Structure 1
C-alpha cells in the first residue's frame, strides 16, 4: 500500500485531479452559510501536521507555480462562491472587519477594493469580480495567511463540532479531519444519508474507536464515485484516510 507522501505526489502528478473544478468547496460553503462560525474560537489548539496542511494547499491551488498563474488575482470559482483570494479565502463569507484583520498586510488600497465584495456570493460576486482584478496577492502572503489564520480557524471549527477527546488526536489524524471539514464543513451532526459517515466519525471519537475512522472516510467516496469531474474528491478522501491511519500508527 502506498504511503501518504507517495499518494500525494501521485495526485500532484495526475493531470486533472487538482483542476479548479475539482477543488471547489461548495459543500463547506453551504454548511457555513447555514451554521455561522462559533462565537468563541479556541485559540490555544493543538496544531495539525505540516503534511495535512500541504495536502489542503494542494487541493486548493495545486502548487506555487499554478497559484502564480491562476490565483494571484481575485477569482470567482462559480456556484455559491464569493470573490476568492489567496488559498481558498472566500470573501463572500466574511465581514469587512474580519477581512481587514486577516489581510492587513495587503495594504489599505487593496482592502478598500476588496471590502465591497464581502457578503456577496453567486451571481452578485461574479458581477463585482472585474472591479477587483487590480489586486495582486503574492503566494508568500497567501501561504502565511492560510497557515496562521485559516488553518487555526478550521482546526477550531473541527474541534468545536466533535467530542472533547478530539483535541488529543495526533497531528496527522486531526489534520485529516480538518481537511475533511475544509471541504465538507463541520457537518458531524448533520442529518441525512449524505452525512452518515460524518456522524459515524463523531461517534467513533466519542467511543474511542479511532481505528474505524479511515473506513468511514473511504466510505464517503460513494458520494462522488462514477463522476470523472469529481475524481479529485475521491482522491482527497483516500489521502485523508491514509494520513489518519499513519497518524494512528505513529
Structure 2
C-alpha cells in the first residue's frame, strides 16, 4: 500500500485527488496539506511513501518544501512528484534538480494521474510526455564537454558507472542500457545505485540533470533522446 500526501493550496484540487486515490487500489491517503510549511510538518510526522506537491504556493514554495523534506527525511525517503500548470518551466527544472522524481500537469486525466503515481511509487521515472528533453536543454547550464571524458565533478565514479550515468542522461531505460553494454539489467541497477549513492542523488530524474549539467551529456549529442518510463 502506497501512502500518499497531497499538497496544494487549492482545496478542490486536494479533495479531487484524494477522492481518486482513496478509491484506487494500492493507495492510502495519509494526509493533505495546504501550504509548503504544513507539507514539511506532515511529511515528518506521517512519513508518506509518495508526495504529490504543487510547485507554486503562497509562502513556502513546493521546491523549498521538497528540499526541506528530502534533507530531513530518514531512509527510505519519500518520492516527490511535482504538480504544475506549465511543463516547460524553470521551476519544474529546479524541482528535478533538487530531487523530485518527476512532474505531472494539473490537467492530467485522472486515470493517467493514478497510473503515473503508481509507476513512480515503484521507483521508475516519469515525466509529462514529450517535454523532458526540451526542459533540460532549455534550463540546464551546458559546460563545454561532450568529448567522452569524465568531468571532474564525477571523479568518484568508475568508468562503468560513468558510462551508465551517460546512458541514463541520454534517456535510456535499464533494459536498453543492459543491451547496449552487454550486461544484465541487475548489473545496470547495481552500477546506477552506486552512482546515486556516490553523488547523493535522490531520483533518476536528478541523475539526468546531473548528466547534462556536468557536460557528460549535451544537447543534440549522440543518442540523445527523451527519457522513457520503464525498468
TM-score, normalised via structure 2 length: 0.27
> Which has the larger helix fraction?
1
RCO higher in 1 or 2 (8 Å CA, sep ≥ 6)?
A: 1
Structure having the higher strand fraction is: 2
